[in-house]
Amino acid sequence: MRIAEVYLRQKSKKIDRPFDYRIPDRLVGQVKKGMRVVVPFGKGNKRHEAFVLALKGDSDFGESVKEILEIIDLQPVLSEAQIKLCQFIQRYYGCLFYEALVLFTAPVKSIVTAEGIKAYQESIRYYRLLKDEAVRGSVQKRIMALLRESDISREALVAAAGNTASIRNLEKKRLIESYDEALALSRNMSVPTWEPTESDLYDCLLATNKGKVPLYIRCPKGETRHAFYRRMIEETLQTKEGQLLLIVAENNYITYYRKAFTDLFGTLVSFYHGGLSQKERYRNYQEIAQGHVRVVIGTRSAFFLPFRHLDHILLDEANDPSYAVPHMPKYDIVTLASRWQEDNPHTNVVLLEEVQGIRSVKNIEEKRWQEIPSPENLSQSKIHVVDMMQEMRRGNLDFMSKALRKKLEKNLETGQRTVFLLNATGYANYVFCKECGYVEKCPDCEVSFKYDKANALMYCGYCDQTKEFTGTCPNCHQRKGYGPIGLGIDRLMEILKKRYPEHEVLTLDARDTQNSKAYRLAMEKIQSDWQILIGSSTLLRFFNYPDHIATVGVLLADIELNRGHYTASEQAYRFFNLLRTLTPDVEDVWVQTHQPEHYVLKGLEKPQSYYQEEIAFRKLLRYPPYGNLIQMMIFGKQPKVLLKDAGKLYEWLKEEGLECYRSPNVMRIRGRDQFKTTLMVKTEKLENFHKAMKTIVDKRETYGFTSKVSIDVNPLYG
DNA sequence: CTAACAGCAACC
DNA sequence: GTTGCTGTTAGG
């Protein structure tokens, strides 16, 4: 075993493959799979960081193999199972191996110096008591008291002391000393004991004859799930070293569980998300790798933490769009978790959904997932589908149907609350001239401008182009007839405030979830005393709704139904159903539409018919999960070059025998001086696409091809 | 004749 | 990505 197969930490497709290096005598026995090493690479023997993926006796490259220069890590930073998953990600999502590696090793650093890469591993300084003597200073007393209880990190100690001089002085007096957490660890490892919490779901899980496949539970959010998670955590902590990962859709759920679980389980549970600082990430990484943290509640990035004995992966709300990552590599957590379980049958993967997704239906049908009967049913709130065409024929031209208006006014009288869903931000969707028919459009994206009344601006929903609203048509120069058309949240707010001046009207849209501060403010806003709440799809990202929400009204269901993505109807179906369970109080949901015959709306009353139609539609057009759809985005600085490159790629894919479609449109990218266009490939076997791409990269004249390409394999949400 | 430079292939 | 080799060409 004198040869190591390594992958370089680099971003070029051309050398995205393993390279052989000899292990020098002095490092024999030390180099292990999953470790990082420094190797000389290329004509100039430049020092490169590389990951050891395999060890073997000899190499096909004979005398030309070079020697590993040094080791970066003392312990592997990637497990065998993680290496396997990296290879899967590279293959399945068509990304660089490096991109997959980064997912798993983001918290692990290396230092780049003038000579190349320097071997380096960050570690956390901890302090411990050496001699327990009385000290005089109050700060020093506090430090001693803290250390008497347990060892503590330098960061925490500095925070408690308020200065670093006191710590230094105590260190000088040899009363305390610091040590490297990577080498020595001390933490309270005793596991508290509980009376196990009751959870019907847990009992169902136990009763199920677990096969070696992911388990699926259809179960509403809220108490039932909470109790189930709690029981699962308790059971995990009773084992010797088992670990549990609970993945939730977003940070706010973490906040919720932190409040609920910290007191119960203390430091055995940690909370992880992408917003942590590098230091915090690193600490979590170490503590989990060393088995000190047994339970992690985190967002999708927590999936890549270095668990040692991962017994359970629980995926909360498995069809939540946030599990599909929008940037390269465009992986999705459900796919990765299922794959993980295939390679690691000892890990128990449990997927939960409130409204069943099409992918789940198929996987259960084909016995790739096993369904566990859920003890609870969905909300019983009533659904009314309102035909707005009929409403119009009857002379009601208002955006609100007579029946919904009646219900709203009844709610206002009886002190009940009403929520409206309107998935259109801003004041109006279009600016239009009735005299000459002119529509204001974004010059780069060819979509109509939206209107922001407060700032007298027109803006593009895709890029960041804006245009001043003058009130005069730039085409026919008339003021009459030129103005905003369509209903946006801001306009609806204005209208409802005018109609019901003595009632409190609130809005909730994407601006309220932009950052944690906005989020916190929005949560307070929701708790305040309001009668009418108007929200975009952002509504479902909150869960602290007050009591007495009697009615939810979807003002324009057509927006959700006609999004043009193949999952639009599935998302709409899920969305409308989730509105029924916004709170347990909801009595009725009103869905206003211009197409009452749409199978999604019919399906709200008869779920079976919805699933039948949806599956038939996917099968007919060979959309996922009944076929593979690859969406490719091509980026570039100049629209002309971009279109030329897209054309080339399109031809190449066609010549490889693939069913390929291209968009003639070029769009500007928000916040950047770049443009994009799209290609789409449909194929029965994903392998055919990967083969074609490999042939293109290897054989074609790709030198003139300067545009960047991102690949989205079976995009779930768009 | 050289210097400059793009085009290209290999990197273990 | 980085390096160095190759063929081409402008300039003297």
Q: What percent of chain A has pLDDT over 70?
A: 94
* pLDDT tier, A325 (very low <50, low <70, confident <90, very high otherwise): very high
State which of A148-157, A175-184, A249-258, A412-421 shows the largest mean pLDDT. A412-421
| The pLDDT of residue A679 | 93
- Alpha helix segments (H runs only) across A21-153: 80-93, 97-105, 138-149
Q: Are A586 and A381 in contact (CB under 8 A)?
A: yes
What whole-number distance in Å separates Cα of residue A434 and Cα of residue A89? Answer: 52
Residue scoring higher pLDDT (A156 or A643)? A643
| The pLDDT of residue A377 | 65
Closest nucleotide over all strands to A67 (CA to C1'): B12
Whether A186 has a pLDDT exceeding 50, the answer reads no
User: Distance between terminal CA atoms of chain A?
Assistant: 48
**And the tokens for A648?**
């080339």
Interval A562-574 mean pLDDT: 93
| The pLDDT of residue A499 | 97
- Distance in Å from C9's C1' to A709's CA comes to 35
Q: Does the CB of A42 sit below 7 A from strand C?
A: yes
| The pLDDT of residue A184 | 37
Nucleotide C2, nearest residue via CA and C1': A42
The mean-pLDDT minimum among A119-133, A283-297, A383-397 falls in A119-133
Whether A146 has a pLDDT exceeding 90, the answer reads no
Whether A185 has a pLDDT exceeding 50, the answer reads no
Q: What percent of chain A has pLDDT over 90?
A: 56
Residue scoring higher pLDDT (A319 or A168)? A319
Interval A380-386 mean pLDDT: 91
**And the tokens for A538?**
């952002």
Phi, psi torsion values for A120, nearest 5 degrees: -160, 135
Render pLDDT for A500-559 as a digit per residue (tens, 0 to 9).
999 999 999 988 988 878 888 999 999 999 999 999 999 998 888 999 999 999 999 998
- Distance in Å from B6's C1' to A697's CA comes to 22
**Residue A261 CA from chain centroid, whole number:** 23
* pLDDT tier, A384 (very low <50, low <70, confident <90, very high otherwise): very high
Residue scoring higher pLDDT (A486 or A309)? A309
DSSP secondary structure, A599-650, as one string:
HHHHHHH-HHHHHHHHHHHHHHHT-TTSSEEEEEEEEESSHHHHHHHHHHHH
Pairing of strands A70-71, A36-41: antiparallel
Nucleotide B8, nearest residue via CA and C1': A703
Closest nucleotide over all strands to A704 (CA to C1'): B7
* pLDDT tier, A498 (very low <50, low <70, confident <90, very high otherwise): very high
What whole-number distance in Å separates Cα of residue A541 and Cα of residue A539? Answer: 5
| The pLDDT of residue A155 | 75
Residue scoring higher pLDDT (A192 or A648)? A648
Whether A379 has a pLDDT exceeding 80, the answer reads no
Which bases on strand B have an atom closer than 7 Å to a protein beta carbon?
Answer: 7-8, 10-12
| The pLDDT of residue A515 | 81
Work out the mean pLDDT of chain A and round it to a whole number. Answer: 89
| The pLDDT of residue A183 | 38
Q: Are A401 and A391 in contact (CB under 8 A)?
A: yes
Residue scoring higher pLDDT (A189 or A276)? A276
Overall size of chain A counted in residues:
718
Whether A406 has a pLDDT exceeding 90, the answer reads yes
Render pLDDT for A39-73 as a digit per residue (tens, 0 to 9).
999 998 988 999 999 999 999 998 899 999 999 88
Closest nucleotide over all strands to A46 (CA to C1'): C2
| The pLDDT of residue A178 | 79
| The pLDDT of residue A189 | 53
Interval A554-574 mean pLDDT: 93
Residue scoring higher pLDDT (A490 or A169)? A490
Interval A391-414 mean pLDDT: 96
- Distance in Å from B8's C1' to A96's CA comes to 23
* pLDDT tier, A179 (very low <50, low <70, confident <90, very high otherwise): confident
| The pLDDT of residue A700 | 65
Whether A586 has a pLDDT exceeding 50, the answer reads yes
